[in-house]
Amino acid sequence: MFSDLLPEDLARPSSFAAPEKVYQLYRELRQDAPIVRVEPRGYRPFWLLTRHEDIAALESQAEIYQAGPRTVLLPEKVEAVYDKIYGNPNGVRPLTHMDGEYHWLHRAVTLEWFGAKNLKQFVPAIADIAKEFVDRMEDMGGECDFSADIAYWYPLRVVMTLMGVPREDEAKVLRLTQRLFSPKDKDIKAQHEKAGHSVVKTESSATQDVVGEFAEYFRSMTEDRRRDPKRDIVSTIANAQIKGCPMGDHETTCYYIIAATAGHDTTAASSGGGLSGLLDFPDQMAKLRSDLDLLETATDEFVRWTAPVKHFMRTPTQDVEWHGETVKAGEAIMLAYPSACRDDRVHEAPDEFRIDRPRSPGHLAFGYGPHLCLGKRLANLEMQAFFRELLPRLKSIELGGKRTYIESTFVSGLKSFPVRYTFG
Ligand code: HEM
């Protein structure tokens, strides 16, 4: 092994502040140890799977590999607290944590909502929001932090608009999302404490606070949409029936949480990562600017390149064998999506940013199988609208300082991305 990192370092959020080192580790693992047992201090052991074809094959067998028992990597102490409070080690139980029929019935609630036909009606509204944010960038006078000033706010505005959340509450939702996904990041922690809503003690109590705040926030919206349904996502969730019965309060809150949170940090990271790729590969920037129709494939490359979701986990219900190693029933396997996205067995020259990569074979940054990201189409649509507005208006753009990354083992991307630009 030549990487500075060891597999157990993938349990350390700060490792993801240096993505090149993480990619080097994945490269070596895909080659020499495509499944490896990892035993980080403070965490239950797990197996790490790094090749594209293995992850896709595993996710296709959802009857054997379950999401529910252990969905994401959490410190053992945090899992123990969640177990006591929520009766499972994951804490909350949104779609990503469900299995079998229960999962399908809940996924069906918003499946149509996120489908092409329904989203089409929002295309003009999304284009208006994109324009508003490109105007904001222009108004900033030629310098901004693309991540902190633009990328984190634009997808948030889109999702909040589709959900029916008023503008004045967006900052609150962003803070709660980042706290949920990146509880260890110092800057995010400080921001959360500054807001004064919940003073952070431990990771588990912070999550409890965040879930409590989300529940509180959406309670009155649920009542309102049950009385007077609108065309928004909150109305769909508030009025959903599972086998003829309304969803319970905690289930409803978890549904809001995933709808409100899954879509913006991920899309923000991919927009930042995409622009960063365009700056690092100027030939690709020139190509895209000369043919904006390439945005159709380019935004998918933004997502492959960034792979903001660092993992999900699955637990087999029976003993299984991978590359000569036996994984016992009940032992969790971590699916390393960013590794799959750079697997040269599937992607030609994976460390090159190419905006016109063929659509097939697709990448795994949106996952695969029954849990495939519900917001995939929306994420691409949003990024296309933004760059379709931005690129023709830009005269020049260059890196304006050091790029830094969010410290998180779950969802991470650029935290700070200073750029200098002129509008034409
Ligand atoms: C570039 C942006 C995004 C990325 C990289 C991403 C990635 C992912 C991944 C990896 C999963 C788990 C898939 C699996 O387990 O196989 C997922 C699930 C999900 N995503 Fe996304 N996502 C993005 C944007 C969005 C958006 C915009 C929304 C909606 C507002 C959304 C909503 C969901 C939901 C509801 C699930 C759960 C699906 C299920 O478990 O059935 N995502 N996403």
**β-strand pairing of 65-66 with 325-327:** unpaired
pLDDT tens digits, one per residue of 89-101: 988 889 999 999 9
Residue 193 is predicted with a pLDDT of 65
Q: Which of 119, 232, 300, 373 to mutate to test the pocket of ligand 1 (most atoms within 8 A of CB)?
A: 373
DSSP secondary structure of 94-141 = -GGG--HHHHHHHHHHHHTTTSHHHHHTTHHHHHHHHHHHHHHHHHTT
For the chain, the average pLDDT equals 93
Strand partners, 394: 423
Query: Residues of the chain with pLDDT > 70: what percent?
Result: 94
CA of residue 295 to ligand 1 center, whole Å:
20
Q: Is the CB of 109 under 6 A from ligand 1?
A: no
Q: Range with the lowest mean pLDDT among 30-44, 248-262, 332-346?
A: 248-262
CATH hierarchy code of domain 90-305+346-423? 1.10.630.10
pLDDT over threshold 60, residue 103: yes
Distances in whole angstroms, Cα of residue 37 to Cα of each of 44, 46, 233, 333, 336 = 11, 6, 41, 9, 13
Alpha helices in 228-310 (DSSP H): 233-238, 249-261, 264-280, 282-290, 295-306
* 165/227 Cα distance (integer angstroms): 17
pLDDT over threshold 90, residue 114: yes
* 212/285 Cα distance (integer angstroms): 44
Residue 200 is predicted with a pLDDT of 44
CA of residue 47 to ligand 1 center, whole Å:
23
Q: Is the CB of 336 under 6 A from ligand 1?
A: no
pLDDT over threshold 90, residue 179: no
Distances in whole angstroms, Cα of residue 50 to Cα of each of 19, 26, 34, 126, 372 = 15, 7, 6, 36, 18
- For residues 352 and 287, the answer to whether their CB atoms sit within 8 Å is no
Distances in whole angstroms, Cα of residue 368 to Cα of each of 57, 194, 259, 335, 362 = 9, 38, 18, 11, 10
Q: Is the CB of 366 under 6 A from ligand 1?
A: yes
Residue 183 is predicted with a pLDDT of 65
Residue 112 is predicted with a pLDDT of 94
Residue 363 is predicted with a pLDDT of 98
Identify whether 361 is preceded by a cis peptide bond (ω within 30 of 0): yes
* 187/390 Cα distance (integer angstroms): 29
Q: Is the CB of 144 under 6 A from ligand 1?
A: no
370 Cα nearest atom in ligand 1: 41
Residue 92 is predicted with a pLDDT of 82
Residue 346 is predicted with a pLDDT of 97
pLDDT tens digits, one per residue of 399-419: 999 999 999 999 999 999 999
pLDDT over threshold 90, residue 87: no
Nearest protein CA to atom 20 of ligand 1, as residue:
373
DSSP secondary structure of 43-105 = S--EEEE--HHHHHHHHH-TTTEESSSS-S---HHHHHHHHHHHSSTTSS--GGG--HHHHHH
Q: Is the CB of 270 under 6 A from ligand 1?
A: yes
* 187/414 Cα distance (integer angstroms): 13
CA of residue 375 to ligand 1 center, whole Å:
6
CA of residue 373 to ligand 1 center, whole Å:
3
Give buried/exposed letters for 67-96 (b at 16+ CB in 10 A, else e): bbbbbbbbbeebbebbeeebebbbbbbbbb
CA of residue 397 to ligand 1 center, whole Å:
30
Distances in whole angstroms, Cα of residue 115 to Cα of each of 127, 338, 348 = 18, 26, 30
Q: Is the CB of 368 under 6 A from ligand 1?
A: yes
pLDDT band at residue 199, thresholds of 50, 70 and 90?
Answer: very low
Tokens 């999304």 -> residue = 126
Nearest protein CA to atom 36 of ligand 1, as residue:
373
Residue 189 is predicted with a pLDDT of 65
pLDDT band at residue 194, thresholds of 50, 70 and 90?
Answer: low
Residue 184 is predicted with a pLDDT of 66
CA of residue 324 to ligand 1 center, whole Å:
32
Nearest protein CA to atom 14 of ligand 1, as residue:
367
pLDDT over threshold 50, residue 266: yes
What's the whole-number mean pLDDT along residues 266-270? 96
pLDDT band at residue 331, thresholds of 50, 70 and 90?
Answer: very high
Q: Which of 58, 65, 366, 380 to mutate to test the pocket of ligand 1 (most atoms within 8 A of CB)?
A: 366
Give buried/exposed letters for 212-250 (b at 16+ CB in 10 A, else e): ebbbebbeebbeebeeeeeebbbbbbbebeeeeeebeee
CA of residue 370 to ligand 1 center, whole Å:
11
* Residue 321, H or E segment: strand 320-322
Residue 171 is predicted with a pLDDT of 84
Size of the chain in residues: 424
Residue 195 is predicted with a pLDDT of 60
pLDDT tens digits, one per residue of 3-19: 799 999 999 999 999 99
What's the whole-number mean pLDDT along residues 313-335? 98
Residue 25 is predicted with a pLDDT of 98
CA of residue 280 to ligand 1 center, whole Å:
27
What's the whole-number mean pLDDT along residues 73-95? 90
Residue 133 is predicted with a pLDDT of 98
Nearest protein CA to atom 24 of ligand 1, as residue:
263
* 366/206 Cα distance (integer angstroms): 27
What's the whole-number mean pLDDT along residues 35-60? 98
pLDDT tens digits, one per residue of 118-174: 999 999 999 999 999 999 999 999 999 999 999 999 999 999 999 988 889 888 887
